[in-house]
Amino acid sequence: MANVTMRVWRGDASGGDFESYTLEQNEGEVVLDVIHRIQATDAPDLACRWNCKAGKCGSCSAEINGKPSLMCMTRVDELPEGPITVTPMRTFPIIRDLVTDVSFNFAMAAKVPALLPPPMPEGGYRMFQEDVARGQEFRKCIECFLCQDVCHVIRDHEDNKAHYAGPRFFIRYAELEMHPLDTNDRRDLIREEMGLGYCNITKCCTEVCPEHIKITDNAIIPLKERVVDAHYDPIAWLGRKIRRREKKSATDAAVQPAP
Amino acid sequence: MATVESSTKVVLGGRRGGPDVTTLRQDRWWVQPVVTVSVLTAFIIYSTWAAFQNKNYYVGATAHRDLISPFYSPCLANSCLPGSSHGFILHGWNLSPALLILLFPLGFRMTCYYYRRSYYRAFWWSPPACAVADAHKTYSGETRFPLIMQNLHRYFFYAGLAFNVMLTYDAFRALRQPGLGWGVTIGTLVLFANATLLWMYSISCHACRHLFGGHVKSFKKHPFRYWFWKVMTPLNAKHMNLAWASLLFVAFTDVYVRLVASGALTDYKLF
């Protein structure tokens, strides 16, 4: 087999640069395999996160030849010939080498108002398969945060992190908003504090999702349409007034906070 | 320094890894924006030219045909060619009839979620491609005027449906061949294909999918809406293809009618 040259970003918050490593290429290897061989031979102090090596834990997110990808799911022989560039996720502050501080995402997760079901009816809650299936797609998320990484709203504009939840959490909001047992109305929250309006639907989150979740089509756009129902559609507003249907807002005091 | 307020406080603004370059992508990411800019610019130039022509948009009784260009239907102006009007005339309007109506299909496409993706990338470079740096220093997305008006998409969708009804009516009217009776010509098929593609583009629209079924919390309680949603969802996945196909075919339909009306092309009768 031919050799493979890896240009890996080495550094921390004080600065960094690329270092090149040339190794023999083994058949069927993924980028994470080569990173592990570099650790074993040339650079035992090279930092990277990994866990399952099966595309299910979401730990080994990085940017390979500039594209946000999972290192364990990117085969070396499918990349173009020439040196392979591996850098940490650009959107988050670097800790060391390929490891970034993704705690922004945990902060946003803590802000999601929890499911608020109605009082338990006699015989317990019931959900039907049609409604279970709808949210199933969103529960495939492995929280690799590649969608957050590629989203230009925070990738290129750090200041937006203060008021923008990002695609990973929009699928969480969508799942809750589509849940038949949920009585919360998060539309004000999504518009005013989670920054749904900042998304300009360039669909990069969908392109990089390793679970192939249709983030934009099935979560973000339906949320945008729900926000239009609540704030920008006078006919929908009139319909609610006539039928006297107003849901509880998730910004109300009655909301159960997330644990 | 700003912080994200929650139970976990995060200080923003930490140093990021990787080099400060526009992108590290090595593939030809620029091809898609270039193609989008080329095709949309060509369409805008052609449709503007066609809208200001104010002639050759209708093939009438003298040619034993009843074909009208989609750019001019419904023909509402004082200056409409004989036979092209749909019964209602705005007497004060003497400019091209196309200028009266093109705002609505233009608005439908400008606010369409697919076209938004395309022109934000290709024309505004926000961003030009995934993991390629945004060309702008500041960004407010669709939270402020004028882009907050994108939220009016569903109203342009409603207007688009009215236009689809009109263009379908035109296609059926094209079966009429004054002086000869009824029949099908190439032009009739072109008008039917145009109307069909526009219906499919409208029905595959994200706003349509939401309004007809997606907005409910429980599909079980709304079986008809669930059925609509199930039908529309696979079409919605093809929205991009239908957006391009219907856009190009509208232009082709106008070209066809224009060529027949100017005498450069014969509209052959099939049966």
Give A102-127 pLDDT, tens digit per residue. 999 999 999 999 999 999 999 999 98
Check CB contact under 8 Å for A197 and B148: yes
Residues of chain B with pLDDT under 70: 1-11
The CA distances from residue B265 to A143, A167, B193, in Å, are 59, 52, 19
Which residues 193-232 of B have a C-beta within 8 angstroms of A? 206-207, 210-211, 214-215, 217-221, 226
pLDDT per residue over A237-256, tens digit each? 888 888 876 655 554 433 44
Inside any domain, residue B137: yes
The pLDDT value recorded for residue A168 is 98
Inside any domain, residue B34: no
The pLDDT value recorded for residue B11 is 67
The pLDDT value recorded for residue B81 is 87
Inside any domain, residue B174: yes
> Which chain A residue is nearest to residue B226, measuring alpha carbons?
A130
Inside any domain, residue B10: no
The pLDDT value recorded for residue B21 is 95
B46 touches A at CB < 8 Å: no
CB < 8 Å to B217, chain A: 131, 177-180, 182
Inside any domain, residue B97: yes
CB < 8 Å to A204, chain B: 127, 130-131
Inside any domain, residue B140: yes
3-state secondary structure chain B: CCEECCCCCEECCCCECCCCCCCCCCCCCCHHHHHHHHHHHHHHHHHHHHHHHCCCCEECHHHCCCEECHHHCCEEECCCCCCCEEEEEECCCCCCCHHHHCHHHHHHHHCCHHHHHHHHHHCCCCCCCCCCCCCCCCCCCCCCCCHHHHHHHHHHHHHHHHHHHHHHHHHHHCCEECCCEECCEHHHHHHHHHHHHHHHHHHCCHHHHHHHHHCCCCCCCCHHHHHHHHHHHHHHHCHHHHHHHHHHHHHHHHHHHHHHHCCCCCCCECC
The pLDDT value recorded for residue B232 is 94
Check CB contact under 8 Å for B117 and A202: yes
pLDDT tops 60 at residue A101: yes
> Which chain A residue is nearest to residue B119, measuring alpha carbons?
A202
The complex scores an ipTM of 0.92
The pLDDT value recorded for residue B92 is 80
The pLDDT value recorded for residue A254 is 38
Domain count, chain B: 1
Give me the percent of chain A exceeding a pLDDT of 70.
Answer: 93
pLDDT tops 80 at residue A175: yes
Inside any domain, residue B207: no
CB < 8 Å to A212, chain B: none
The pLDDT value recorded for residue A235 is 86
CB < 8 Å to B140, chain A: 198
For residue A227, which phi and psi values (nearest 5 degrees)? -65, -40
Q: Which domains does chain A have, with CATH numbers?
A: 3-98 (3.10.20.30), 103-249 (1.10.1060.10)
The pLDDT value recorded for residue B82 is 86
CB < 8 Å to B154, chain A: 225, 228, 233
pLDDT tops 80 at residue A156: yes
The pLDDT value recorded for residue A212 is 97
Which residues 107-146 of B have a C-beta within 8 angstroms of A? 113, 116-117, 120-121, 126-127, 130-131, 133-134, 138-143
- Residues 6+ away with beta carbon under 8 Å from A254: A116, A248
Inside any domain, residue B266: no
Structural domain boundaries enclosing B115: 59-199+248-261
pLDDT per residue over A184-236, tens digit each? 999 999 999 999 999 999 999 999 999 999 999 999 999 999 999 999 988 88
What is chain A's mean pLDDT, rounded?
92
